[in-house]
Structure 1
């Protein structure tokens, strides 16, 4: 699972108006201001005063102007950009600043911005103003999105319900912050003896911290956790690490999740809707929870037999390797990654750790910039600018044809204490052509500094797909820029881009960036990598299905405890529930904008694999790349997702490629 970081500045109730955080300055090269401890509160207070003045001016607009669509949309656009300008640095730095004081001081500011956003969308004067205007096709779509945002914030509710709605939205923001903080700031280190780390690569052990007794101290960052689960020979050590990882949200997070569920149910009830899932999904491509559940049922039917087959195959391989009777051999949850890796090494001669020499990190980054440049007709030029940490790199982005600057990107690639712990892309600043505003995107990952595994290379490409979706956007209004599309479409561009991390015509370009040279990715290694990637798809999709079904179960009206629901649902899977684990307490998607929306990862993949067919197997074709840029990346949410895909494919989308992928029948 590769999460995007499309964090919401306000609750999911306001999703139709939020495009993600951004920074706006009136210089030729807009940059993210590097805020220090003690600066945030004053900046926030001053910014909110300015925003409220803009709202007052919009309310008091003379009648002659108030009925002129272009004027209203222009003033609204200025307000949305000002919100981004305030929110952006605070939201990003709350997740990436190395200064704990900056991170903690950011949270009250984000709550205050959240309150303002709710007040704005409950403003009945502005609501009536938008109801009374009309515009062209782009403005008609924006108008509907704005009205949906007002409606979702409760503008039409009775006064007492509007007050309660605002309180719920603010409390959900606070719960989400606390939930994320409990995960992000958990600096627990597990101690493992020399015997417990046998099987792990020498370079992994050389980088690990040690205590006074020589034991290895390991935390929950991906570069530490994932290789351990794949290579540590000690089943007991893997069990201990897996147990701690599943619980690293700490017991504090389960009550937060439970409270959030109750608030979301109450929110839906304010609108006389049967569930929070109904409230959320009505604005998505799927439209109704029933449609989502039908789709998940189709996935269940497609994946069940392959999951069971793979588990039995791994169990048999474990028994054969350990020379134990099959009847007495059990495959535990902490065994899966380890025995999959062993089987892939044996069957396909593919070792994920050994792949790092093919994908050195300092080559993989310029490689994906080069691939993107060739496909989309752009150029990336590094520049020295102020950054929040010495590891962070900045690039200006230009159109190759006319050398016009179109945006900027920040890359923050390596783990450190207190940093957001996964891989994600922040749509830091939205574009607006009518205002001459250029976009900024930020990539945040936690990669190994030396080299990437095949899976990590896919993560890099996936998240860079989100970066491109933001920085190549070319929309008239900022509210429609980049990744402001429906949540069950937003992953599709990035999921499609993953294919470029698995194909020879793109991967063979890597060698040009290796200093010294790296091994050639020939047909043989590529075939083995593809086979290794494809192996385990049953287990992989079944896990995604479990996450999606769990999310829908929590938000379809149930009042059960979230841990009890998880124990029941995971317990019904072939590998069962691991007693004592509290996975929901670190399932950040449930608190970070994907509540009642996790199904969107697979829904988006349907669209991603279908869009991939437009390349007809020639992934480095710049003509199709330019068509894709114009049809999808540049349009943001100026059209609905289904219309964007139809425009690119020249036909209605279908799910054949997705279900062929699950079944292992997709043609390369």
Structure 2
């Protein structure tokens, strides 16, 4: 009988995951073994005959279940980036087991008693700041998750958590299946009018790969976005837009309306069970924003500033479309198309002019050079590490002394088993154990335009900022330098986690940074300065409309999770329409519903947290002003950012860390200044 590789120490370079040796069917037995081992580690803590102290209880608890965490990170990353029917089936079996195990810990009376014993003595213990944070976090993880409940309520909580874990998975599976199912095959080349050559070539290549004649378009972003931005055929833009907006909203086997209602009601029930008014009150207790009232106030104040600008931009766009093509009423499928035309007219700038300067390999190297100039990091592509797909690139990251900082994976192109969007994740966290600083394995996953037969992968400017955004998250993971795994890297308050990612996007607009990597893929010539000026000038183009869009998503999220009686919500679409009432610019599309494919809040971790993108923008605009004042590659400011933000993870309150870096609290006006929304 072969040994299950997942339950053993990996005999690989840098202890990386041996993907090619893992069989999908290894996962379920490996999870079961790892859960058993983790339970034994918990038993060892509760049965320890010594009196509970920080080391034998709090620290031991944080380092327990390492094998289980590692298997989970490998498995769920595969389920997002390279899934299949088997993996999805295993996920449905494994999720309730993990949910049950998590409850076994938080509802373990003996364990909570030991944790509480240490917590009650916290003022007598000589703990450093990180240890104090860990103790606080461990105690709260019990009290906030049912440790103080009666036995019957604990059982109820277990049942809710089990149901939620399965519903969230089902939600994501339906969205992925809907994305994969839709295809728009075009046989007549006239219907491609307006599309750039690269988009046409990619569509022809996709059709050919599926043994079809013509040009094939899908709901994957690299296929969808160019069509919506450039295709002159309004009917086909409408068809594609409605297909995208109708994902999991068709009253069929892949419909998510019921899943949304069930998830929302169960989350509310869970919060009530734990003594909280709503799910949002529960979540926000552990965020910088603190309460739903503060979040709604923040979003509504922004709305007040952004709405007049957004309305004026919309009227202007509608007027432009009317003059250009006699479009009477601007619809959602007209937005990207006419915005692009207007942007070209105002700034003489379009993505097709820019793309030749943004060859994917050059942009990756550009991100590496920026990280080197700011944080002294060196990236070397290596080929002795296993990957889960041959598209994945692997790098060894070192510091100026040549010491290992991190292993870095990058996965850039769409494919069938990969969900849409872009994200950063980790295969192994950083921590310091027995004097050894275990370095992290970090990954970014994107869905960019693939190379074609005639051209390399050339990125739109939006894709460039996306790559820098995810790379900012990756730096937060790579530069982690904390003792405890649960406080390491991106394990921070959710409305702080976007600061490292969003601040890095700023370098994409700076001449000094662009000169490093924006070089024509054929001639090698650096991007002309007039184009750089146009990129900067266009940075706030339609910022009002963009801001309104983000606010609308944040308000929709809060409408689902801060509501006191979700049981009264029976119609997903009607509820959503009401939530969007103050932010709507375009006419509603009856066949479309955003909630049924809003994976951030119903599958990912952003429930009651979508506002954090705007919240972190305030931080990033304020922080970047500091860089601009000193010089965008100023070593002193960069080192302060690295030492007080990037390396510190969740070891202290984020506002304390931010003030230590910046010397003061963030100013909301910095965001409004940058967005051009200040009168």
Fold shared, TM-score > 0.5 on shorter chain: yes
Residue 519 of structure 1, CA deviation: 3.9
Who is 1:393 aligned against? Answer: 393
SS at match of 2:323: helix
Contact 1:433 1:475 in 2 (8 A): yes
Who is 2:49 aligned against? Answer: 62
**Shift in alpha-carbon separation, 1:365–1:249, aligned structure 2, 3 A:** farther
User: d(CA) in 1 for partners of 2:249 and 2:17?
Assistant: 32
Residue 329 of structure 1, CA deviation: 2.0
Residue 270 of structure 1, CA deviation: 0.6
User: d(CA) in 1 for partners of 2:489 and 2:92?
Assistant: 25
Who is 1:477 aligned against? Answer: 484
Who is 1:13 aligned against? Answer: none
Contact 1:434 1:476 in 2 (8 A): yes
Q: Tell me whether 617-626 or 101-110 shows the greater mean CA deviation.
A: 101-110
Who is 2:305 aligned against? Answer: 302
Q: CA RMSD in A?
A: 2.1
- Of 542, 545, 552 in structure 1, the residue corresponding to residue 551 of structure 2 is 545
User: d(CA) in 2 for partners of 1:581 and 1:361?
Assistant: 34
Q: Are residues 1:524 and 2:530 paired? A: yes
Contact 1:80 1:479 in 2 (8 A): no
User: d(CA) in 2 for partners of 1:434 and 1:611?
Assistant: 33
1:608-658: CA deviation from partner (whole Å, max 9, x where unpaired): 111112213421223322221111010000011111101100112221201
- Of 47, 59, 76 in structure 2, the residue corresponding to residue 74 of structure 1 is 59
Who is 2:577 aligned against? Answer: 567
1:435-456: CA deviation from partner (whole Å, max 9, x where unpaired): 5321111100011131111111
**Shift in alpha-carbon separation, 1:176–1:271, aligned structure 2, 3 A:** same
**Shift in alpha-carbon separation, 1:339–1:405, aligned structure 2, 3 A:** same
- Of 263, 272, 275 in structure 1, the residue corresponding to residue 278 of structure 2 is 275
Who is 1:613 aligned against? Answer: 625
User: d(CA) in 1 for partners of 2:501 and 2:9?
Assistant: 25
- Of 466, 474, 491 in structure 1, the residue corresponding to residue 498 of structure 2 is 491
SS at match of 1:616: helix
Contact 1:90 1:110 in 2 (8 A): no
Residue 45 of structure 1, CA deviation: 1.3
User: d(CA) in 1 for partners of 2:648 and 2:72?
Assistant: 23
Residue 571 of structure 1, CA deviation: 5.2
Structure 1's consecutive aligned runs of 4 or more residues displaced over 6 angstroms after TM superposition are none
User: d(CA) in 1 for partners of 2:561 and 2:17?
Assistant: 36
Alignment of 1:504-653 (within 5 A): 504-511=511-518, 516-557=522-563, 558-559=565-566, 560=569, 561-570=571-580, 572=582, 573-591=584-602, 592-617=604-629, 618-653=631-666
Who is 1:463 aligned against? Answer: 470
Who is 2:168 aligned against? Answer: 176
- Of 300, 321, 324 in structure 2, the residue corresponding to residue 321 of structure 1 is 324
User: d(CA) in 2 for partners of 1:292 and 1:443?
Assistant: 29
1:5-59: CA deviation from partner (whole Å, max 9, x where unpaired): xxxxxxxxxxxxxxxxxx9858661212323222111111111111111111111
User: d(CA) in 2 for partners of 1:575 and 1:658?
Assistant: 25
Q: Are residues 1:144 and 2:136 paired? A: yes
Who is 2:154 aligned against? Answer: 162
- Of 195, 198, 202 in structure 2, the residue corresponding to residue 200 of structure 1 is 195
Contact 2:31 2:68 in 1 (8 A): no
Residue 220 of structure 1, CA deviation: 1.0
- Of 185, 188, 207 in structure 2, the residue corresponding to residue 191 of structure 1 is 185
User: d(CA) in 1 for partners of 2:57 and 2:523?
Assistant: 57
User: d(CA) in 2 for partners of 1:333 and 1:479?
Assistant: 42
Q: Tell me whether 548-557 or 425-434 shows the greater mean CA deviation.
A: 425-434
**Shift in alpha-carbon separation, 1:568–1:641, aligned structure 2, 3 A:** same
User: d(CA) in 2 for partners of 1:52 and 1:80?
Assistant: 8
User: d(CA) in 2 for partners of 1:100 and 1:378?
Assistant: 39
1:426-476: CA deviation from partner (whole Å, max 9, x where unpaired): 133221123532111110001113111111100000001111111110011
Who is 2:460 aligned against? Answer: 453
Contact 2:185 2:217 in 1 (8 A): yes
SS at match of 2:281: helix
Alignment of 1:255-274 (within 5 A): 255-274=258-277
1:174-218: CA deviation from partner (whole Å, max 9, x where unpaired): 111111111123322123343332111112111113388844221
Q: Are residues 1:101 and 2:98 paired? A: no
Q: Are residues 1:375 and 2:348 paired? A: no
Who is 1:441 aligned against? Answer: 442
Contact 1:87 1:113 in 2 (8 A): no
User: d(CA) in 2 for partners of 1:189 and 1:56?
Assistant: 53
Who is 1:11 aligned against? Answer: none
1:80-122: CA deviation from partner (whole Å, max 9, x where unpaired): 5333223111111111225442343244223322221121112
Who is 2:329 aligned against? Answer: 330
Residue 569 of structure 1, CA deviation: 3.3
User: d(CA) in 1 for partners of 2:212 and 2:63?
Assistant: 60
**Shift in alpha-carbon separation, 1:664–1:650, aligned structure 2, 3 A:** same
User: d(CA) in 1 for partners of 2:646 and 2:432?
Assistant: 15
Residue 494 of structure 1, CA deviation: 0.6
Contact 1:302 1:663 in 2 (8 A): no
User: d(CA) in 1 for partners of 2:95 and 2:524?
Assistant: 45
Contact 1:408 1:440 in 2 (8 A): yes
User: d(CA) in 2 for partners of 1:33 and 1:210?
Assistant: 34
**Shift in alpha-carbon separation, 1:213–1:180, aligned structure 2, 3 A:** closer
SS at match of 2:189: coil
User: d(CA) in 1 for partners of 2:48 and 2:662?
Assistant: 43
Structure 2 runs not aligned, ≥5 long: 1-7, 451-456
User: d(CA) in 2 for partners of 1:250 and 1:100?
Assistant: 22
1:58-95: CA deviation from partner (whole Å, max 9, x where unpaired): 1111224x22x133333123215333223111111111
User: d(CA) in 2 for partners of 1:546 and 1:24?
Assistant: 47
**Shift in alpha-carbon separation, 1:24–1:168, aligned structure 2, 3 A:** farther
1:141-189: CA deviation from partner (whole Å, max 9, x where unpaired): 1111111111221111111111111211121111111111111233221
SS at match of 1:38: helix
Residue 304 of structure 1, CA deviation: 0.7
User: d(CA) in 1 for partners of 2:85 and 2:26?
Assistant: 14
SS at match of 2:64: helix
User: d(CA) in 2 for partners of 1:417 and 1:44?
Assistant: 26
**Shift in alpha-carbon separation, 1:100–1:393, aligned structure 2, 3 A:** farther
User: d(CA) in 2 for partners of 1:484 and 1:441?
Assistant: 13
**Shift in alpha-carbon separation, 1:487–1:174, aligned structure 2, 3 A:** same
